[in-house]
Amino acid sequence: MDTFEFSTARQIVFGAGKVKELPAMARMNEMRRCLVVTGRTPERVSGVFELLRASGIEVILFSIPGEPAIEMVRQGVERAVNGGCDGVVAIGGGSALDAGKAIASLMRNDGDVMDYLEVIGRGKQITQPSASWIAVPTTAGTGAEVTRNAVLFASEQRVKVSLRSPWMLPVAAVVDPELTYDLPREQTLASGMDALTQLIEPYVCNRTNPLTDGFCLQGIPLAARSLRRVCMDGHNREARSEMALASLLGGLALSNAGLGVVHGFAGPLGGIFDAPHGAICATLLPYGMQANLDHLRSEDDSSDSKEFIERYRDVACCLTGRSDAEPEDGVRFVRELAAELGVATLGRFGMGPEHADEVVEKAQRASSMKRNPVELSAEELKGVYLRAL
């Protein structure tokens, strides 16, 4: 058996109503004055602010109006340092959590965010633990509450890139499905398809391990059976809980194994076009799966190819609930699910054939692409992109 490692948040608390334990967790981690990072609608979680204030914890609000851009992170660090904050509480979707994660890290590591960014930055290692920070997701999709990277938007280069280090993990993650009940259908769908993608890709990536395999095999059926229900009825308690758990399991898996072709495209596309990350993943997922299977089947019966094909068969069984499912049945399930729920094509966001070369060139350099089970050629990648338009 190959060696592997596993890292995650110091504490994970899951369950309806568990957000009420947030003040006690903050005090336990000696947080008395917190920078509270939220998304564009902080009033949606105003009750959480009041929980903190009622327990004697001072709150300094910092709202992220959209994608967590590099400049916003710089502003957040300045606000936290000048305000004398001793910790960060990030409440929201992936953008708010990643912004909070990056701010907490840069509160304790000297230099500018560009010093540590991969791909476009100087790529220095983060050497000091982050300021104490607690993640409270309000969507079920990104799993950012337990990942060790923060995806940031670089406006000048029109690309999304990551800060990445085990030191960036939170002291606690509070996953309360009740916080997702009022999430609009469009966000529920996009984040839910992202969660499904982040359970499939780590299971078929080139750095799998027994722990992450277990999370994926448990999480894929949860997302497969609950995503339809939660899109039909946002207050379906069981479906919301299952999607919150699926998202958490996906975050645990991707952070410790890797992703693949879908997320290899998602970063560059999200940087070039104004398109939600989850919507991009939802559209690309069946085409990325099929491209990998086509490539694997074209190889000369290598043991690695056979193993990955078997893994895609496992995915298909988990998605369909059938023990006799073939790998392509999984592709069909995802494609039909996306069509039934109204997932948009990439063309809706202004993407066209004329962008293919730029998109593929950037996707080939993305960190997620390095974990794809096979190395897809530029032509194969172009085919994935064009089929998703």
Q: For each of the chain's 389 residues, which pLDDT tens digit applies?
A: 578 999 999 999 999 999 999 999 999 999 999 999 999 889 989 999 999 999 999 999 999 988 899 999 999 999 999 999 999 999 999 999 999 999 999 999 999 999 999 889 999 999 999 999 999 999 999 999 999 999 999 988 888 889 999 999 999 999 999 999 999 999 999 999 999 999 999 999 999 999 999 999 999 999 999 999 999 999 999 999 999 999 999 999 999 999 999 999 998 999 899 898 999 999 999 999 999 999 999 987 778 899 999 999 999 999 999 999 999 999 999 999 999 999 999 999 999 999 999 999 999 999 999 999 999 999 999 999 999 99
Total-model pTM: 0.96
Sheet holding 58-63, edge to edge: 12-14, 172-175, 133-137, 87-92, 33-38, 58-63
Other Cβ atoms less than 10 A from the Cβ of 44: the count is 16
Domains in the chain (CATH in brackets) are: 12-180 (3.40.50.1970), 185-387 (1.20.1090.10)
Rounded CA separation 87/107 (Å): 9
The pLDDT, as a whole number, for residue 1 is: 59
- Name every residue whose Cβ is closer than 8 Å to that of residue 320 and which is 6 or more positions away in sequence: 224, 329, 330, 333
